[in-house]
Amino acid sequence: MQWTILGAGAVGSLFATHLQRSGQKVNLLDTRQPHRQQAKPMLLEQLDGSICMCELDCIGYQDLAQIGCLLVTTKVWQVTHALQPLVGLLPESCPIVLLHNGMGTAEWLTEHFPHNPLLAGVTSCGALKTDASHIKHTGFGETWLGALNAAGEQWQTLVSPLADALGHAAWSEHIQERQWQKLVVNAVINPLTAVYNQQSGILLQHQDEIAALCLELRPLLLQQGLTNTANEWQELVLQVVDRTAKNYSSMQQDIANRRRTEIDYITGYLLQQAEQNGLELPQHRALYLKIKALESQFVTA
């Protein structure tokens, strides 16, 4: 199996280095480049603090023969732009796995790659790219894969090499439910921590806000077939807050570092779904507007 990583940032580099170290063939694809670039040395700092060196081949969007299972690990707002150069070129047998937070890219993918096996992944692995060639594994996590179309169902075989590489990976028959669960957790923790500009643990002091945001989402979640009570959603969010209390969320970091956030595909996606279903989410909308106002200081529309 040839694995091709599109988006060698924190998560992409973590997956690439772990897959290579477990004996898989891995290369990095940059669709901003037509052809192969110099191989990239990468220094992986593991959970136990040990450090190892990897070297990864780098290919461009015209090196089609070298693209294997395509693991897309860009930020969610980069996905369509990053995949666009491959539309009409990528062999139809090549599976595409989306591994990002937020939702709203699967529709575009299905439209533009209708014959490819399409899959989605949800991971709680933690990774930090401290510089261009230094990747730090910051937290052990679970990785779940599932099919987005019928052809994707044939690719459960991807799970075993990922599990060997990462320590955990499993197949989910309900991947969209897992994506929604992560979406809810992210929609509460990410914007609140970005607005407070604090580590996630600060939210233990704002449990009333968490409760209100969960309660407001309940009708929409019920319509999606997610039957948890508002209290159960709140519990789920609090468990993650507790587990990640000392971490800075990705949205807090994006705002602090003046980078575009994933808000349009997290809260923005929820607002869009609510509107389509005749529902209003005023508290989520207010948070969305606060993040967009912060973002507008450095991101032009």
Of these residues, 40, 136, 182, 290, which one is catalytic?
A: 182
CB of 79 to ligand NAP, least distance (A): 9
| Rounded least distance, CB 172 to ligand NAP, Å | 16
Q: For residue 70, what are the contacts with CB-CB under 8 A and spacing of at least 6?
A: 4, 6, 29, 86, 90, 94, 95, 96, 97
Contacting range for ligand NAP; rule: CB under 6 A; set: 7-15, 38-46, 51-59, 220-228: 7-15
Measured from each CB, the residue nearest to ligand NAP is: 9
Q: Among 26, 59, 76, 183, which residue interacts with ligand NAP (rule: CB under 6 A)?
A: 76
Residue bearing tokens 């099919």: 147
Please give the residues from 121 up to 180 whose contact with ligand NAP meets the rule CB under 6 A.
123, 125-127, 129
Using CB under 6 A as the binding rule, whether residue 57 contacts ligand NAP is answered as no
Contact flag: residue 82 with ligand NAP (CB under 6 A): yes
- Shortest Cβ distance from residue 227 to ligand NAP (Å)? 26
Residue 210 CB coordination number (10 Å):
20
Own/partner contacts of 157-165, CB < 8 Å, gap of 24 or more, are: 158/69, 158/95, 158/97, 158/119, 161/1, 161/3, 161/19, 161/22, 161/24, 162/15, 162/19, 164/22, 164/23, 165/15, 165/18, 165/19, 165/21, 165/22, 165/24
Is 75 catalytic? The answer is no
User: Which position among 75, 137, 206, 284 is part of the footprint of ligand NAP (CB under 6 A)?
Assistant: 75
Nearer to ligand NAP (CB atom), residue 104 or residue 152? 104
> Are β-strands 118-123 and 143-147 bridged in parallel, bridged antiparallel, or unpaired?
antiparallel
Interface with ligand NAP in residues 21-40 (CB under 6 A): 30-32
Which of 38, 105, 97, 106 lies closest to 67 in space, CA to CA?
97
**From the list 4, 20, 24, 78, which residue makes contact with ligand NAP (rule: CB under 6 A)?**
78
Q: How far is CA 129 from each of CA 30, 111, 126, 253, rounded to the nearest angstrom? A: 17, 32, 10, 12
Residues with a catalytic annotation lie at: 182
Q: Where do contacts with ligand NAP occur on this chain (CB under 6 A)?
A: 6-12, 30-32, 73-76, 78, 82, 100-101, 123, 125-127, 129, 250, 262
